[in-house]
């Protein structure tokens, strides 16, 4: 359908991770626990054992093989380069150790702000969500200004309140998109569908916000115009599934799932290299 989007899903470089302009903040600031996604434990603020002196990953090409699949599906939505190059003026935590703690605390807050920017930008690309475009633009501008704040101001932000304001617009946009197909579809918000057998299921226009779809069998499922914000798609089988027009689906979610050459994704999202052909 020609009216799925006015433009592709957000392609703004500021909302895409640019590791070359980041001081490897996700590899240092964030903690992770030994699990199926990570081969070892790491404390917050401690550099990953694979991090090199030039801020590059020493095992980037073999992360999955070496047990660090979690790294391959992480997305900072461009927050890393914003904190590195704008908030802290291009001076790294190695050059100025005194700023390290504050930089590491700012990063996860900035990541939340950039995630909100990504969703608001998507709302503006959806013709069916036009009734809320004005509110989306207002919140987009407000959030962008917050990302330009000083480190101390960023750490004092009430991100929860901002998320509530943004979520109201996202909910309305979702309703408009899903209703535009002739009905909102099934209500499965927050549903526990781990390992569910949903092969060929009709989930057209479904509300799957925050649903747990870990290892779910979604082969050949109809997920057109479904709302997938916050849905956990780790190891979900999307082979042959149709996600055309699905809203609020991110690269992080797609990378965490399994698919193949028959899987149809929303505009702006490409098939991960590890998917079957």
Q: Please check whether residues 175 and 221 belong to one and the same domain.
A: no
User: Has residue 7 been placed in a domain?
Assistant: no
| Banded model confidence at residue 268, pLDDT cuts 50, 70, 90 | confident
- Pick the last residue of a domain from 179, 195, 213: 179
User: Has residue 18 been placed in a domain?
Assistant: yes
Which structural domain range is residue 262 located in? 184-277
Higher pLDDT, 209 or 37: 209
The pLDDT value given to residue 5: 59
The predicted-structure confidence for 148-184, as pLDDT tens digits, reads as follows 999 999 999 999 999 999 999 999 999 999 997 776 6
Q: Answer yes or no: are the C-beta atoms of 21 and 90 closer than 8 Å.
A: no
Residue 276 burial (C-beta neighbours within 10 Å; 0-12, 13-18, 19+)? exposed
| Banded model confidence at residue 60, pLDDT cuts 50, 70, 90 | confident
Q: Please check whether residues 271 and 139 belong to one and the same domain.
A: no
User: Has residue 6 been placed in a domain?
Assistant: no
The pLDDT value given to residue 7: 45
Alpha carbon distance 228, 57 (integer Å): 31
Higher pLDDT, 274 or 198: 198
Alpha carbon distance 2, 183 (integer Å): 19
The predicted-structure confidence for 65-86, as pLDDT tens digits, reads as follows 889 988 988 899 999 999 999 9
Alpha carbon distance 56, 19 (integer Å): 8
**Does residue 25 carry a pLDDT above 60?**
yes
The number of beta carbons lying within 10 Å of the beta carbon of residue 262 is 14
- Pick the last residue of a domain from 116, 144, 179: 179
User: Please, what is the Cα angle at 175 between 2 and 259, to 5 degrees?
Assistant: 60
The predicted-structure confidence for 172-222, as pLDDT tens digits, reads as follows 999 999 997 776 689 999 999 999 999 999 999 999 999 999 999 999 999
Q: Answer yes or no: are the C-beta atoms of 98 and 135 closer than 8 Å.
A: no
| Banded model confidence at residue 6, pLDDT cuts 50, 70, 90 | low
- Predicted model pTM: 0.91
The pLDDT value given to residue 94: 94
- Pick the last residue of a domain from 179, 208, 241: 179
Q: Please check whether residues 47 and 155 belong to one and the same domain.
A: yes
The pLDDT value given to residue 3: 55
**Does residue 1 carry a pLDDT above 60?**
no
**Does residue 8 carry a pLDDT above 60?**
no
Dihedral-angle region of residue 263 (phi above 0 means left; psi in -120 to 50 means alpha; beta otherwise): beta
Cβ neighbors of 155 (< 8 A, separation 6 or more) are 102, 105, 106, 109
User: Has residue 235 been placed in a domain?
Assistant: yes
Q: Please check whether residues 233 and 167 belong to one and the same domain.
A: no
**Into how many domains does the chain fold?**
2
Alpha carbon distance 149, 113 (integer Å): 12
The pLDDT value given to residue 70: 87
Percent residues over pLDDT 70 in the chain: 94
Q: Please check whether residues 159 and 173 belong to one and the same domain.
A: yes
**Does residue 135 carry a pLDDT above 80?**
yes
């Amino acid at each position: 359908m020609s009216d799925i989007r006015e433009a592709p899903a957000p392609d703004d470089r500021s909302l895409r991770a640019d590791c070359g302009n980041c001081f490897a903040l996700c590899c240092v600031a964030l903690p992770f626990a030994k699990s199926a996604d990570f081969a070892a434990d790491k404390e917050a603020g401690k550099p990953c054992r694979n991090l090199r002196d030039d801020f590059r990953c020493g095992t980037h090409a073999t992360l999955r093989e070496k047990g660090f699949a979690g790294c391959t599906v992480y997305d900072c939505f461009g927050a890393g380069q914003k904190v590195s190059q704008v908030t802290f003026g291009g001076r790294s935590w190695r050059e100025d150790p005194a700023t390290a703690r504050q930089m590491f605390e700012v990063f996860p807050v900035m990541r939340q702000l950039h995630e909100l920017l990504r969703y608001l930008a998507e709302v503006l690309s959806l013709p069916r969500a036009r009734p809320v475009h004005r509110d989306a633009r207002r919140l987009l501008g407000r959030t962008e200004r917050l990302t330009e704040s000083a480190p101390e101001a960023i750490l004092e932000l009430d991100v929860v309140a901002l998320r509530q304001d943004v979520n109201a617009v996202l909910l309305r946009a979702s309703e408009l998109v899903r209703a535009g197909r002739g009905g909102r579809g099934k209500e499965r918000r927050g549903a526990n569908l781990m390992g569910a057998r949903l092969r060929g299921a009709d989930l057209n226009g479904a509300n799957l916000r925050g649903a747990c779809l870990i290892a779910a069998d979604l082969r050949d499922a109809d997920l057109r115009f479904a709302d997938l914000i916050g849905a956990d798609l780790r190891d979900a089988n999307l082979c042959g599934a149709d996600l055309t027009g699905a809203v609020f689906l991110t690269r992080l979610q797609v990378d965490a799932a399994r698919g193949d050459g028959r899987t149809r994704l929303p505009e702006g999202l490409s098939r991960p290299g590890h998917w079957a052909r």
